[in-house]
Amino acid sequence: MNITQPPAPLSATTPADPGAADTILIDDLEHRTFQWFWESADPASGLIPDRYPSDQTQASVASIGFGLTAYGIGATRGYITREQAAERTRATLHYLLHSEQNDSEDGATGYKGFYYHFLRKNNGLRLNRDIELSSIDTALLMQGVLFAQSFYDRETQPEHDIRDMADQLYRRVNWQWMRRPDNRLSMGWSPEHQFIASYWEGYSEGMMAYILGLGSPTHALDPISWQAWLATNNRRWGDYYGQTFLNFAPLFGHQYSHAWIDFRGIQDKWAHEKQIDYFENSRRAVYAQRAYAIANPGKWRDYSATTWGLTACDGPGEVTQRMDGQDRHFLSYSARGAGRDYTQDDGTIAPTAAVGSIAFAPEIVLPTVRDMKSRYGSRIYGRYGFVDAFNPSFRNGTSFWSDNEYLGIDQGPILLMIENWRSGLVWNVMKHNPYIRAGLQRAGFQGGWLTPSSPMMKIAKIMPLP
């Protein structure tokens, strides 16, 4: 396959300038997506559901991490007041800090500072015995916790309380306990089965867990853990649909860590050797996935330059349907994606795949947002913005399948990455956090805003922790 030149990188400081119509569209989408977090959360506990509106009964600690960040965005945008954001954030952190941390099967929210993937909405305890103590969901939660620690920087009692509780929550996560003998992080643990066999290795959302673990002042991973995570990178580095990059098939793996950490212009040893940074790498992944949709090797309906996006999302269900003279199998919730590592595609498009990539490639995402909304209308765009997924190939008469729910882990990238593209808010707040800086530096990242003489580093040095 011929390799095209990589798309020109964005400026490290200046976001793209949308036209008036796109500004109105993105204003509306960002506000609606924020409202999902604000309205779905329990104001008393701060617990946020995995999906909403839904009859399911689980709260998601990953949704809480996105929600803690959403409140700061909402206050900055004027959707809520700063006092409202601080009140909700303080209640959430208080609930998490004082929830049960023990190794029982049914009577805990977490253990060793980690949290169970899903919690009961009514009491915050582990949902059931199939639910693991999750390293990555805890990492998503801790990203939101550290955002709160650095965002609420005023000398008021509520904001001081937020900084103090955030510090306690992060410091008690025992990353060393979650580390395997080979220095990789386990994906999770349960009282019944102890550490699960799966572990974090290779470019993925696991990136954030290692950076958080490396930055810990109490239970830090050693830098060798970062090298263990990188060990398989060369196997997935290569050419795919016109781009050369480190592959990870679903786009959420390119979005989650980048939603909080600005990787533009900073490099670890591996990225330096490849003459790339991880932001540019994920930017190429977005272009490759769009090129895959244009080529449409699976012959799915409506795929085009402005209708694309594969990631983990809902689907029509585990069913086979006759389509254009052949049987096609469809999936329910699944990690859809396209890359050198694997391809899983049943014609289901997740708006979060494209919209959550807006900071990487606004020039191709904005036309996609416009087209998806205008073409599919109210079937996929409602009170909280884009529904989780839709599938033009899965038909019921003249109608296509569309979801009626929204997922916190898919709403989150939409909201955070829109704001990062528009203002850099989340990235800039996280640059102030000394734990994030320490984690990046211990992983070997250098250059860009991590340079000691950079304006951001100078500002950070005069912002001590509580």
pLDDT score of 243 more than 80: yes
Residue 309 lies in a domain: no
Residue 418 located in a structural domain:
yes
pLDDT band at 39 (very low <50, low <70, confident <90, very high): very high
- Expressed as residue numbers, the domain containing 434 is 20-291+360-389+404-461
Token reading at 149: 């620690």
Q: 58-72, 308-322, 372-386, 448-462: which range is least confident on average?
A: 448-462
Report the CATH number that the domain containing residue 154 is assigned in CATH: 1.50.10.140
CA–CA distance, 430 with 148 (Å, rounded to integer): 9
Question: Mean pLDDT of all residues in the chain?
Answer: 93
The answer to whether position 396 is within a domain reads no
Q: Are 422 and 34 in contact (CB under 8 A)?
A: no
pLDDT interval class at 15 (50, 70, 90): very low
Give the burial class of 198: count Cβ atoms within 10 A of its Cβ; 0-12 exposed, 13-18 middle, 19 or more buried: exposed
Q: What are phi and psi of 86, to 5 degrees?
A: -65, -40
Lowest mean pLDDT segment, chosen from 227-236, 422-431, 447-456: 447-456
Q: How many structural domains does the chain have? A: 1
Average pLDDT over residues 334-355: 97
* Four-CA torsion 125, 127, 129, 134, nearest 10 degrees: -80
pLDDT tens, 263-277? 999 999 999 999 999
Residue 316 lies in a domain: no
- The per-residue DSSP string of 240-296 comes to ETTEEEE--SSTHHHHHHHHH---TT-B-HHHHHHT--HHHHHHHHHHHHHHHHHH-
- pLDDT band (50, 70, 90) for residue 323: confident
CA distances from 465 to 167, 368, 452 (A): 8, 42, 19
Categorize the per-residue pLDDT at 10 as very low, low, confident or very high, splitting at 50, 70 and 90: very low
Binning pLDDT at 50, 70 and 90, where does residue 452 land? confident
In the 8-state DSSP scheme, what is residue 450? G
Residue 222 domain flag:
yes
Mean pLDDT of 339-349: 96
Classify residue 200: in a domain, yes or no.
Answer: yes
Is residue 124 included in any domain, yes or no? yes
In a domain, 221, yes or no: yes
> Which residue is associated with the tokens 């200046």?
14
DSSP state of 126: B
pTM (two decimals): 0.94
Residue 457: pLDDT band with limits 50, 70, 90: low
pLDDT at position 458, please? 52
What string of DSSP letters covers 36-59? HHHHHS-TTT---BSEES-S--EE
d(CA 426, CA 261): 8
